[in-house]
Structure 1
């Protein structure tokens, strides 16, 4: 989810979790552990010791993820801004919150979120459990208090039963966030054409796709300097020259360091074909526009990455690069959008 938080807000949210953890459960459905479906070429994700994956917890988290009672006007669920058919991203620059209010940043994909070391485009949150709290009381998103959410769910006998089975407790906010995090950690996908070609050796790139791969990895384009590894991101924070002046200061909101102004986390390119519009503000509508931006060298800014220095690319080579990027699309979530 997409809200940015500064240091003081993160401390407040941390205090909330500490306060409510006192009365939290002491045991859960440990016997029914959930086995993640992890591609052989993916690393094993780190699962917090205090939030092990269990079948019933994941099922509960999925129910919560699609529940519109999380918004003040009952109009939105987590899935309203993270659409399963689009790799759990949105199709607009800014998702609509309650009462048609606009968000502040483009909603990112949640696919393979289990591997992320930090959350939000400024890296302001370091826990998937804590992240789940952020959109709840934001006026541009769910605009609801945690107390109201808990009260609503406590009136549901099925939720009461589920929380008892999973957490050996009644409905609590910590239980809600832990179940949501558990479900999101199961959204692991690595069955794209790229994977079948490179890792399984069961398919082949077309000539166009192969040319695109060579361009992607070339020193002239520098794509793979940041979009590297099995997830096509090094999770670093970069200013890519999108703006000459940033109203949204990005990473600097978290660090208060002017050298971080305009820096945002490098996003995964897996499923990039279906996660547009692109950039932190959704200002680039297509992959073609993204390539044009980098080819131009971007706007001048004191913090712009030295890797963004422009390049020349023919129309045919642009088509090749886009063809290669499309091999990173995993069709499985599209064929089974309800997960």
Structure 2
């Protein structure tokens, strides 16, 4: 008997439309002979399952079921394709855990931890993993411009602490740009992370559970046409993504080792994609994405293809790992 799979997509953040694209790619490529997949839109105003004709059916939040043609549909597993809140920050996963429904992501606490950039950096630093110098602000704090610049220098990056897709991020070159950048970041989040600029090549490394082992995917080098890897660079073709990255074997081994270590010290499972800047041959960790973008041209699917793993195999493995 085929298993019912809910592919949750959408969410409550600015990444809703990107999530819908990722979720539809999973729906398209999932093996229909093995599974009966349903797209489930998790939106601010509704939770609904869609049939093949895009007719919507309300989700019963008591057990995450819905009624189709008079029959109650229950799910065997949930495939999490929600970027941001409530999928990537663990909120909906805590709910799924409470009702006993398996899902493809890590435990809700690990998801919440890794979605919080400041907390993630605090953990990895304890394990000797190099990072940028950082300064933290909460909305309402006094903004000590001189103190910030003295600690992180210029240029620097101002980021919302809990946001993705580069929303709210600015690269600040002068003191005069700092306060507007902070105000811009506060539009996305009440917590701010300000980091020193790291000069070097940027790489992205997928680390996943594959066939019951931790697998480090081929490394991707990111070369942005813009000042940094911003929204345009990520989604509008303003960057080159070279997979596999052309790196000396010794440096490649170093990056793979530290990427796997980050995955392990954060107690991760399921999908992840971590970003690093290579400063004089030393990988500096930036952040981890635990619901990476899953469109055909996105970085993790590129890395899977380079490894000889099709999208159908990638998604099937995630579901089987969750079920087992």
TM-score of the two chains, using structure 2 as the length reference? 0.27
Larger proportion of strand? 2
TM-score of the two chains, using structure 1 as the length reference? 0.26
Greater relative contact order structure (CA < 8 Å, 6+ sep): 1
Larger proportion of helix? 1
